[in-house]
Structure formats: C-alpha cells, structure tokens
C-alpha cells in the first residue's frame, strides 16, 4: 500500500507544480487530500470542502472517502489504521510530518504493520513530464512593510534556543552534558523562513515563498537554497546579516555529518519525518513552532500595511461590482471565468499589487455549493439571475494579503435563499462584534458563527476562519476558529460562515479582522478584554437579508458597515462615476427585496 500526500517536503498546503504528485496520480485538484493506493484499489480521502469537487474530478478507478462525514473517519490516518493488518505502508518520508508519522507508527505497530520509506518517490519515477523545480529569483521585503529587521528576528530565535532546557532524562540527577544542550533550530516551513529573513520568492503559485531550509544556530546561520535564485543584491544582504548560503540539497549532508557539532537541534512537529530520521532521536528535540507564533502576531507596521492593502482591494472590488452589474443590466452574458479575470485586472492597477492571494473562487448556481470551486475558461457557467453568485478572492500586495468573500443576487432571490443568507450574515456579525477575555480561543467563539444557522437546522462543513499572513500565505497558523490557541492582540483572522445547498446554490460572507484590546463598561479583572477590528472594506448586499429576522443592533451593524465602506472608499473613486454611484447606492439601500409593482415589475432605484 502506498500513500501519496498533498504536501511537499516543507509541509506546505499549497505546493509548486513540481510537487503536485497527488493531483497527478488522482486527477483531483483540491489543495487538501491524500491518495492511498493498494494492489487492488485506489482511495482519496478529503474533507467536506472538497467532497463534491472530488466526485466530479475522480474517475471510476477511485473511491472517495469523505473525512469528517457522519459515521466516517475524521482523517486519512484514522481510515488507514482501521483497515491495516500485517501491512507494509509506503510513503516518502519527506512528505509526512514528524508528528503524523509518529502518530501513524504508534497506531499501526499493534497491528503487525509498519511504515516503509522508499529511497525514491514512486510518483517521481512514473511522472515522465514532471515540471522542473522553480528557479525564480528571491527578493527583499523592505522594513517599511515588515516593521522589524531580520537580525532582530534572528536574535529572538537564538535567545529562544538558549532558553530551552537541556534534554535530560527526567529521573537523572547527573548534570547535563554538552550533547544534551540545544545549539540551534532547523526551520523547514517556507513561510517561516521568508518571515524570519524578510525575503520573498515565487516558487509556489499565489504564495510568495521559496523552497529552502534555514538553520539558526548559536554560532552560525545557514540558508539552504538553490544558488540560481540568489542574485547579487540578495547575496550581499545575506552576507550583511551574517547568513551563510549553501545549496538546497546540502541540507542532507549537513544533517548526516552533524556539522553543527555537539548538541541537539530543535525541530517542530511539522518538520518532515525524513529530517528526524536523518538526525536520529539522540540529536533532536521536538519543540513548539516558535516562528509561527512570532509571525502570527502582527506588529503596528504590519497592521497599518494590512489596512492600506484592504482599502485598495476594496476599491478594486467596488469598481468590479459596478462593472459586473452594469454589464448584466445591459444584457451581456458574463461567465464565472470572465468575472474573475476582470476582477484580477482591477486589482492589477492597485499600488503594490504583486499577485493573487489564491485562485479566484467565482461561482454561480450549483458551483457556489462547492466551497473551493474555481472556474476554467472552457467549463465556466454563465452568471445567472436566479441563484446567488459567490466571489471569494484577494490580492497579494507588498503590504498585506487580502481574503474577501461576498455573495450577491442579480435577480429576485427565493425566501429559502433569503433566510439562509440572513442566518449566515447573523453569524458573521456575531463573530465581528464579539468581546472576550484574554485566554479565549477561536474554538470557544466558533459557536457564535453557527448559532443562527443551527436555529434553522443549517450548518457548514468548513472552518469559520483562519489566520492570514502579511504578504505571505493566505492561510496562516497557529490560531483560527477550529483550535484551542488563545487569541492575542495582533492576530489577524478571517470570519467566513456560509451555507451550501448541494447541487443548487451556496453562499458565504467573509471579512478579515484583527484582534485588539478594547475597553468595556465594567472592566472585570482589569484590562483583559479583547475584540476585533474589521480590515475588509467591501459593502455587503442587503437584497437577500430578511429584515424581520434581525435585531435592532444587527440592522444598525449592516447600515454602519456599508456607510463606513462609502466614507472610506469614496475619496479613491472620484475618477470612476459608475463605481461611485454603485457604492453610494449600496450605502443608502434599505434592507430586503424591493416589493414588486402590479404585473410583477420591480425597480431597484439608483
């Protein structure tokens, strides 16, 4: 039996073309899922975001395992453990994390089974036209956008290494030996390396990262990267901050020869198992992913940069919405693909635009019921007037990563659509308005987003929100609404409840927030209270909202949000009368559908 994960050797969610092994073998293009192939059967395990997409993309050779469904396993590991006995399971040790490999090994040892790590990747041997690894140059991310220089970040890391206690046996009273002290840490996460060194790259679509490893020792720092990617400016920069440069594949020589000398190396549980195998258990200690925690808390410069980025992204969104609505009113047939393309073009004209933050999700009708659907030119649907249209997209700007979803209707929505949309919006507002004490996790707040939906027996299968990077990955940890990590001031997180009616339509409303300290009326226990501030500046359509389902505060929230969008964006739209008119109308529009006149005629006044 062979397992083909989605991840690359760095545990990345989104991978370079040369690392899309699972996609090549299965035909499934989603970003999450594992292919498991035995002598007689082939399986694909993926979560609820991709069940419908996988059904469409997999051929008859594959069996879909819907992870997380009722009476189904929660993960591919659980599914595999339930079925193995006297088995040998092959997996490239570079493509599975230390944490998952340890978990899987422990679970299958009692079933006379074990993991096997082939010396060569089987898919690489079969994939004859496999794309070459990227050699795109890396570039500097200036301190005007980062707010902190690389030497300061490296100093924090080195101090952290010094603070870690020696790895001694709990029952031993003997003093620690030199071999038990920690002398460095090995960072394998691509976004973490980019963050620490204030560098960015172009190896992975939509993610400004570069394939590399970074060793940060007490006496030296080494970046393992292909030399072809480093120009003279970057080479001079690395030399100035005392970072040695070596070839990407030299990491294995470095580990095998233990070139750091005596002492142990700190690694995170997300480090590839191949690295911990090479180190052997005597030479490493598993520790928290300290860089993930560092980059998750945005400094003042990064927060201000994100505010500017979301303002410009909002300008692009408004110009595009005005264009799209105008074209549809003129009788043009606009496809999902063309709509997405046009929005990207509006973004390209914004200052500091670098790329998209992820592939555009532009979906009408049943495609909107696929949370991660992305249109292609040849198969895209025409945007219709009978069902909601969902757009989930964002730009990568030098000063911030954007992620916004809006769902609109260009005709007369049904009562079922209006009720579902209102419940989704109520969940969105509940998260946005939450006040909570220090120590509160996103998981504890998640129910706020679902409570209104649950009242009507509705729900959504994906998470309520995820961390967002600062010109880095659009999905960033460790915080979110699905785990027990406590929110802290400076955390940036998306707020995206939704509802999906399979085969018919779907809807989602997403804005990005940052955590900040707030002052409450009573201040119980002192200044320990936190709340959110909204970064996203795009109006929310009120046509599908049922006013009689809303509280007074909820009605005011919608009016305030759309008015705020007008006030902030109006100065940037003076050269686009159509967009300005559209924005003013959205800010002034009442809640709900305009009543039909005799004969069924409706007028949506400008």
The predicted pLDDT at position 605 comes to 43
Query: For the residues of 459-488, what is the DSSP string, one character each?
Result: --SS-S-EE--SSS-SSEEEEESSS-PBP-
pLDDT at 597: 45
CB 335 within 8 A of CB 375: yes
Is it the case that residue 170 has pLDDT exceeding 90? no
Give the list of residues 6+ apart from residue 407 with CB closer than 8 angstroms, or none: 368, 388, 389, 390, 391, 421, 424, 506, 507, 508, 509, 541, 544
The model's confidence at residue 459, banded by pLDDT at 50, 70 and 90, is very high
pLDDT mean over 362-375: 95
pLDDT at position 596 over 80: no
Positions of E strands within 234-295: 244-246, 264-267, 284-286
Model confidence at 428: pLDDT above 70:
yes
CA 118 to chain centre: 31
CATH of domain 2-126: 3.40.350.10
Q: Using only the alpha carbons of the chain, give its radius of gyration.
A: 25
282-320 pLDDT, tens digit per residue, is 999 999 999 999 999 999 999 999 999 999 999 999 999
Q: Average pLDDT in the 400-409 region?
A: 98
CATH number of 139-295: 3.40.350.10
Rounded mean pLDDT, 328-350 = 97
Q: Using a pLDDT cut of 70, give the percent of the chain over it.
A: 98
Q: What is the mean pLDDT of residues 316-332?
A: 97
Domain boundaries, the chain: 2-126, 139-295, 297-595
2-126 with 139-295: one CATH topology? yes
pLDDT number for residue 598: 52
Q: Which fold has domain 297-595?
A: Creatine Amidinohydrolase (3.90.230)
Q: Express each pLDDT in 28-59 by its tens digit.
A: 999 899 999 999 999 999 998 899 899 999 99
User: What phi-psi label fits residue 171: left (phi over 0), alpha (psi between -120 and 50 degrees) or beta?
Assistant: alpha
Phi/psi of residue 405, each to 5°? -130, 130
Band of pLDDT at residue 603, cut at 50, 70 and 90: very low
196 pLDDT higher than 50 = yes
Angle at 506 between CA 452 and CA 64, to 5 degrees: 105
The H-or-E segment that residue 208 falls in is none
CB of 103 closer than 8 Å to CB of 91: no
pLDDT of residue 369: 95
Q: Report percent pLDDT > 90 for the chain.
A: 94
**Mean pLDDT to the nearest integer, 552-571:** 98
Average pLDDT of the residues of the chain: 95
pLDDT digits (tens, 9 = 90+) for 2-27: 999 999 999 999 999 999 999 999 99
CB 274 within 8 A of CB 93: yes
Give the model's pLDDT for residue 171: 77
């Amino acid at each position: 039996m062979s397992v083909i994960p989605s991840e690359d050797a760095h545990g990345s969610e989104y991978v370079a073309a040369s690392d899309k092994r699972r996609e090549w073998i299965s035909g499934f293009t989603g970003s999450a899922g594992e292919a498991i192939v035995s002598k007689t059967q082939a399986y694909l395990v993926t979560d609820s975001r991709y069940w419908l997409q996988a059904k469409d993309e997999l051929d008859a050779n594959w069996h879909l395992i819907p992870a997380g469904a009722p009476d189904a396993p929660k993960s591919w590991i659980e599914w595999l453990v339930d079925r193995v006995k006297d088995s040998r399971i092959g997996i490239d040790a570079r493509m599975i994390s230390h944490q998952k490999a340890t978990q899987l090994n422990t679970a299958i040892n009692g079933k006379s089974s074990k993991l096997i790590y082939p010396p060569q990747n089987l898919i690489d041997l079969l994939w004859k036209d496999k794309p070459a690894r990227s050699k795109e140059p890396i570039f500097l991310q200036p301190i005007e956008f980062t707010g902190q220089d690389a030497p300061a970040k490296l100093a924090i890391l080195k101090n952290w290494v010094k603070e870690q206690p020696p790895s001694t046996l709990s029952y031993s009273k003997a003093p620690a030996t030199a071999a038990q002290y920690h002398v460095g840490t090995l960072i394998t996460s691509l976004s973490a390396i980019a963050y620490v060194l204030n560098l960015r790259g172009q190896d992975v679509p939509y993610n400004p990262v570069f394939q590399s490893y970074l060793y940060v020792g007490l006496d030296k720092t080494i970046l393992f990267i292909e030399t072809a990617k480093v120009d003279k400016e970057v080479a001079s920069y690395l030399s100035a901050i005392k970072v040695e440069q070596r070839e990407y594949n030299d990491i294995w020589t470095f580990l095998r020869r233990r070139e750091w000398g005596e002492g142990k190396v700190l690694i995170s549980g997300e480090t590839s198992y191949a690295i911990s195998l090479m180190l052997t258990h005597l030479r490493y200690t598993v520790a928290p992913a300290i860089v993930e925690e560092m980059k998750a808390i945005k400094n003042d410069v990064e927060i201000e940069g994100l505010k500017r980025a979301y303002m410009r992204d909002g300008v692009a969104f408004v110009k595009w919405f005005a264009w799209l609505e105008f074209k549809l009113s003129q009788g043009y047939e606009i496809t999902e693909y063309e709509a997405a393309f046009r929005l990207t073009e509006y973004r390209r004209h914004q200052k500091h635009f670098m790329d998209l933050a992820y592939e555009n999700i532009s979906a009408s009708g049943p495609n909107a019921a696929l949370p991660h659907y992305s249109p292609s030119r040849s198969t895209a649907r025409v945007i219709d007037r009978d069902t909601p249209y969902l757009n989930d997209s964002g730009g990568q700007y030098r000063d911030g990563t954007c992620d916004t979803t809006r769902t609109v209707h260009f005709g007369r929505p049904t009562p079922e659509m209006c009720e579902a949309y209102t419940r989704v919006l109520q969940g969105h507002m509940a998260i946005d308005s939450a006040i909570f004490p220090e120590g509160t996790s996103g998981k504890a707040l998640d129910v706020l987003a679902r409570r209104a939906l649950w009242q009507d027996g509705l729900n959504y299968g994906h998470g309520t929100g995820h961390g967002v990077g600062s010109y880095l990955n659009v999905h960033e940890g460790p915080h979110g609404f699905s785990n027990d990590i406590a929110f802290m001031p400076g955390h940036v997180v998306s707020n995206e409840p939704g509802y999906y009616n399979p085969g018919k339509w779907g809807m989602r409303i997403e804005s990005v927030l940052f955590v900040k300290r707030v002052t409450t009326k009573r201040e119980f226990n002192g200044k320990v209270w936190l709340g959110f501030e909204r970064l996203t500046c795009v109006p929310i359509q009120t046509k599908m909202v049922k006013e009689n389902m809303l509280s007074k505060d909820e009605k005011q929230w919608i009016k305030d949000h759309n008015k705020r969008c007008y006030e902030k964006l109006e100065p940037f739209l003076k050269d686009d009368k159509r967009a300005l008119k559209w924005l003013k109308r959205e800010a002034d529009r009442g809640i709900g559908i305009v009543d039909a006149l005799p004969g069924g005629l409706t007028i949506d006044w400008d």
